[in-house]
Structure 1
Amino acid sequence: MSDIPSASLEIGPSDDYVKRRRRRSIVIVGLVVVLVAAGLSYVFRAPSRLTDASDAFAPGLADIMERIHAENDNVIAKHPGEYVTIVVLLPMSGDVAKTGLSLGTLRHSLQGSHLAQLWRNREQAAAPYIRLLVGDITPGEWEDTVADLEARVQSERILAVTGLGASVDATKRVIDRLSKDNIAMVAALITSDELQRHQALVRVAPLNSDQAEALVRFARRAVPALKPVVVMDTNSGDSYSRTLSSAYDRTLAPVLGAKRRGQALTFDSTANASSTVIGNIADTICGSDANAVFYAGRAQGLPALLRGLSLSRPCVQRDISVFAGDDTSEQAHLVKSPIWEDNGGKIRLYYTPLAHSANVTDHGSRVLPAIKARFGNGDEKGYVRLFPAESLDDGHAIMHHDAVYVAIKAIDRYAKDDLAKLGPQEVAAMLRSGTIKVQGASGDIAIDRDGNPLREEIPVLRLTPYGATVFAEWSSPEPAGDIRQ
C-alpha cells in the first residue's frame, strides 16, 4: 500500500530521467544552432511528455513502467498497424497533500491499468491491440503534458485518456482543456459531484453524493440513536472535500431533526499546523453528546482526529464512530504503530472504498469469474502472480483496471471499422451514448448519459488502528429514509 512516510513528501521524477531530458534538450539546441548557421531550416520537437520509460518517474514506479514498456514494444513489433494508444494521466510527482495520491497509490493505479492492457492484448483476434503511455498532470506540469497530448493524438494513435487523478483543481483544469477537443476521458477515482456533465468525460467511481447516502444508511444501522456532527475541510481548491461535505448535509437533513445534528466543525488543510485545529475539533466533539462523526476531508487529516478522539475519556466511554469517504483508502496500509489508540474498539472508523479485494476474492462476490481470474494467482498474468508483494485493499488497482477496461469496451464497438479513421471524439460519443455496460472488477458499471456510473451497492469497510481493512457490508446509495425525532 502507500509507502509514503509523510503527507508532505514530494514525489519527484527520477534523476536519470531529468538528466536524460536535459541532455536531449542540449543536443537539440546544438543541432538547431548548427543548422541555422548553415542556412538551413530545421523543425524539431521536444521530447514527448507522454512516456513508457522506466526511469521517467520516481524509482518506486520503475518496475511497473518497465512492464508497460515491454508490452508496448511487443504490441508495436507484432501488430504495427493494429494498435491504438490509451494515455494514463496521473499526478506523477509533487506534494502528496496537494495531489491527493501517494506513491503507493500511483503504483497500484499503473498496475491496474497495465493488467487491463495485458488481458486485452492476449485475447484471440484482439485487434485493436492496446498501447499505454503515461503523462504527469501534477500542478505545474499538467499544461505542458496536455498540450503535448493534443499535438500527438494522430501520430501516437491516441483514442482515450484514463486515470486523471483525484478531485482537485488541477484535475478540473485538465478535464476542461481536454473537453474542448472532445477527447474521450474515463476517470478512475473522481467522485466530486462538481466534476460532471463534461461532454467527453465518464467515470467509474460513485459520486460523493452516492457515498454519503450509503454511509448514512449504514450509520443508521451501526449507531443506535444516531447523533452526528460533520467535520469538514474548507480548502477551496479541493472539490472532493467540498462536495462530500455538502452531500453529508443534504443527506442528513431529511432524516435527522436539527436537535439530533451538531453544528459543523471546520479546518483548513492548507494552513500550517492544521492538525492542531483538528485536535481541538476532537476535544469539542468529546465535550458534546455526539456519537458519530461524518468526516469530509482528505485522509491525511484523519490520524489527528482519531488520536484526539481516542485519548479523550468522554469519547471512549460513550463510543464514537467516524464515517469517511473513499480517500480514506490512503490510510489502508499496515503500520507497526497504531494510528490511534484502540481502547477495545471504542473508536471506530468506517469508510466507503471505491473497491476492495473482496470484490475479486470472495466466493459470494458477483464479479464474473473471468474478471476475478485477472486478479488471482491461477494465471501467470494474474495480479497476484505479477505483483506478489502488493495488496488490493486500497482498491486503486481495481478501479484503474476498470477505467481502462471501460475505454477498451468503447473502442471495441468500432473494431470492425477502419482504425485509421477512428479518433477520441468518436470514442467519447460512444462512452456518453448510454449504451456502455461493463461487468468490471469493482462491480457492474453502467454509464448514464451524464457520464456517471449507476451503482446499486457501495462497499463499507472498517479500518483498524493498524491500517488493516475489514469488510462491513454493502450499502445502497438510495435515500436513507426518515428517522426524524
Structure 2
Amino acid sequence: MAVGGMGSWVREHVWEIPLRRYLSLGLAVVLVAGGVFGVRTLMREVRQCAPGVSRPAGGTECLGVATGPYDFKQDRFSKVVESIRKENDSLTGQKSDPYVTVALMLPFSSQETTDLNDVEHQLQGAYLAQYWANHNREDQSPKIRLVLANSGTGKDTWKTAVHQLEGMTGGKDRLRAVVGIGQSTDPNEAAVRELTEHRIAVVGSSITADTLANGQPGKPNPFPGLARVAPTNADEARALAYYAKANPNGNKAILVYADPGDPYTNSLKQSFGTLLKGSPYTSVLEQPFTPSESSTDFRDIKHTVCDTPPDTHTILFAGRHADLQQFVNVLGGRGCKEHSFQILTGDEASYLTYDKDLDQEALQQNLTVLYTSLAHPDAWVDDPPKTGGSTDDYYVLKGLLNDDKRGPIGSVALDDGQLIIGYDAVRLAVEGIRRAVVPQGEDIPALNSVGNVWPRVVGSLRVPGASGWICLDRHGNPYDKAVPIVKLTKGGAQFVQLAWPKGKALDKSGCLKPA
C-alpha cells in the first residue's frame, strides 16, 4: 500500500470509530426515550379503570365519575350497572326527549362488607327510581340519566369525583343533582359543602348528623341546595323518646358514647342527652370509649354494665355500627346474663342486619337492640297510620321490584331500609328537577333552580316516598318524618312500630306549613 493510500485509509477509519459511537449513543437515547414514553403510556393505561374513573398515583382505589358502565370490580354491582347502562343508552340521540344527569355518590370501592351491602342496596333503589322516572305513565320531562360517582374511602378521595362533577353541569352531561353521599362523616361534609358552593343540588339519602344540615343554630344555610330524605339524629332521638315513654323499660339508663366522636356520633350523643331530659329515664352513668381501642374499652364497660342497679335496663349507644357490633359481641359474654338490657341507638345499626361478624347468639342472651331505621319494608303494610305515608306509596316501589320489563338488579334485600331510602332520594331529586325553572329557549332547568324547589315540597306537593311522606321544611330537612323502630334479630331486622319526632303523624294541613 502506498504511503498516500495508507494516510487515506487511516483518516477514513479513525473518523469511522467515533461516528459509530455517536450513532450508537443516539440510538440508545432514542430507545431510552421511547421506553420512558412507553412506560408512561402504560402507566396511564393501567391507572385508567374506566371512562371517567382512574387510580391516582400511589392509590389503590378507582376514583371519579363512571360515565359508562363500570362495576368497580364488584360482581354484586354488575347486573344493576348493566341495567343502568341500557337505560342511559336509550336516552341518547332522542332529540324530542331532553335528559339531565343525576349522579349517585357513594364509596363504591369500599372493601368493608357492611358498607358494600349499603352501597349495593342504595344503588338498586336509585336505578328503580330512574326507571320509574323515565317510564311512568305521566311521561314527564326531562328524562333521567344516572351515573356513579365514587367518593372513595380516604380522607380526601372525595375530591376527585367532586371536581369532575363540577365540570359536568354543561355539555352533554347536564348534571343537575347529586344524590346519596353516604354516612355522616367529615369528608362527606366537605364534599357536600363544595358541591353546594358550586350551586349543585344535593339530596342526602342516609346522612343524619345535625351538623350536616341546614337550619343549624347560628348557621341557617351552610349547604345551599341540600335536601335530605332521612330525619336528623335529633329527630330520630325525639321519635325514640316518644317510643320510650309509651314503652318504658326501667327508669335508669347508661350512656355509652364514642370519644372522640364524629358528626354522626356527636350529634347522636347530644340528642340522647335531650332524650334523657324528656323521657322516663335518668342517667346512671356515662361510659366513653375510644373507637380505635373499643374492643379493650368494651371489656371494661361490660363489667360496669353488670354493676349497675337492678332497675337499669337501658343502654343508650352513640357509636358507629362497627363499634356496636363489637359491643354486642362483648355483652353476649357478660357475667350477668340473667339481667336483661335493651340497647337504644341510631340508624347505623341497620348495617348489622347482614353482618356475618355479629354474634347472633348474643341477641338471645337477655339482650335487645332497638334502633331508629331510615325505612323498613313492613312499616306501611299491616295496619299503617292514616297519614304520614301510605301503603299505596310503598307499593309503587313493590310494583317496580316485580316489574318484568325493567332490567335485572341482582339479589334484593329490604330489611336494612337502604334500597328504600336510595329509591326515595332519587325520587326527591327528580321532583326538584322537574319542578325547577326552565329558562326561556332551554329544554332543561337552570342549575341553581333545582335546590330552590326544596322549600316548596309541602302539602299536596310532598313526595310520596316509600319510606313515608317527604315533606321538607324551609331548610330542606324532612319535617316530622316517619321513623321505624326496628329490633335487630338473629338473621334479620324486625319492625316494631312507627314513631314520630312530633309524637304523632303529620296530616295534610300539617305538611302544608311545617315549622
Question: What TM-score results when the alignment is normalised by the length of structure 1?
Answer: 0.81
Which of the numbers 464, 471, 490 marks the counterpart of 1:446?
A: 471
Pair 1:181-2:198 in alignment: yes
Distance 1:355 1:388, change over 3 A: same
**1:180-235 Cα distance to aligned partner (Å, 9 max, x none):** 11211110011000111121101010110111122222233434332111111123
Q: How do 1:41-190 and structure 2 match up within 5 A?
A: 49-78=65-94, 81-94=97-110, 96=112, 102-124=115-137, 125-138=139-152, 139=154, 140-155=156-171, 156-190=173-207
Give how far 1:165 is off.
1.1
Q: Is the Cα–Cα contact under 8 Å of residues 79 and 409 in structure 2 kept in the other structure?
A: no
| Aligned-partner Cα distance in 1 for 2:302–2:95 | 59
- C-alpha separation between the residues in 2 aligned to 1:24 and 1:448? 39
In the alignment, which of 258, 261, 269 is matched to residue 245 of structure 1?
269
SS at match of 1:261: strand
Counterpart of 1:326, as a letter, is D
Mapped to 2, the partners of 1:414 and 1:24 lie a distance apart of 30
- The structure with the larger Rg is 2
Aligned to 2:22: none
1:204 aligned partner, one-letter code: V
Query: Is 1:413 aligned to residue 435 of structure 2?
Result: yes
Question: What are the superposed Cα offsets for residues 345-391 of structure 1, whole Å, 9 maximum, x if unpaired?
Answer: 61111111100111465464742525413324543257xx9447321
CA shift for structure 1 position 262? 1.8
Evaluate the alpha carbon distance shift between residue 433 and residue 220 of structure 1 in structure 2; reply closer, same or farther with a 3 A threshold. Answer: closer
Q: Which runs of 5+ in 1 are unaligned?
A: 1-16, 26-46, 481-485
Distance 1:346 1:153, change over 3 A: same
Q: How far did residue 328 of structure 1 move?
A: 0.5
What amino acid is aligned across from residue 249 of structure 1 in structure 2?
G
Encode CA deviations 1:295-325: one digit per residue, 9 max, x unaligned: 11111112322233232243x2231011111
Root-mean-square deviation (Å): 2.9
Distance 2:45 2:347 in 1: 34
The structure 1 residue matched to 2:398, chosen from 371, 375, 384, is 375
Counterparts of 1:311 and 1:95, CA distance in 2 = 29
Change (3 A) 1:278 1:157: same
Name the stretch that deviates more: 194-203 or 425-434. 425-434
Cα offset, 1:136, TM superposition: 1.2
Q: Percent same amino acid at aligned positions?
A: 27
Alignment length, in residue pairs? 430
1:23–1:299 CA distance, 2 compared to 1 (3 A): closer
Given that residues 316 and 343 in structure 2 are in contact (C-alpha distance below 8 angstroms), is that contact kept between their aligned partners in structure 1? Answer: yes
Counterpart mapping for 1:305-320 below 5 A: 305-314=327-336, 316-320=337-341
Change (3 A) 1:381 1:220: farther
- Where do 1:283-294 residues align within 5 Å? 283-289=303-309, 290-294=312-316
Contact 1:113 1:400 in 2 (8 A): yes
Query: Does 435-444 or 240-249 show the bigger shift?
Result: 435-444
Question: Does the aligned pair in 2 maintain the 1:267–1:274 contact within 8 Å?
Answer: yes
Change beyond 3 A, Cα 1:68–1:348: same
The whole-number CA distance in structure 1 between the counterparts of 2:143 and 2:379 is 27
Q: How far did 1:79 drift?
A: 5.4
The whole-number CA distance in structure 1 between the counterparts of 2:274 and 2:239 is 13
In structure 2, runs of 5+ residues without a counterpart are 1-43, 53-62, 215-222, 505-515
Report deviation, 1:24: 8.2
TM (normalized to structure 2)? 0.77
Closer/same/farther in 2, CA of residues 18 and 62 from structure 1, 3 Å limit? farther
TM-aligned CA distance change 1:79 to 1:400, over 3 Å: farther
**Which range moves more in the overlay, 287-296 or 121-130?**
121-130
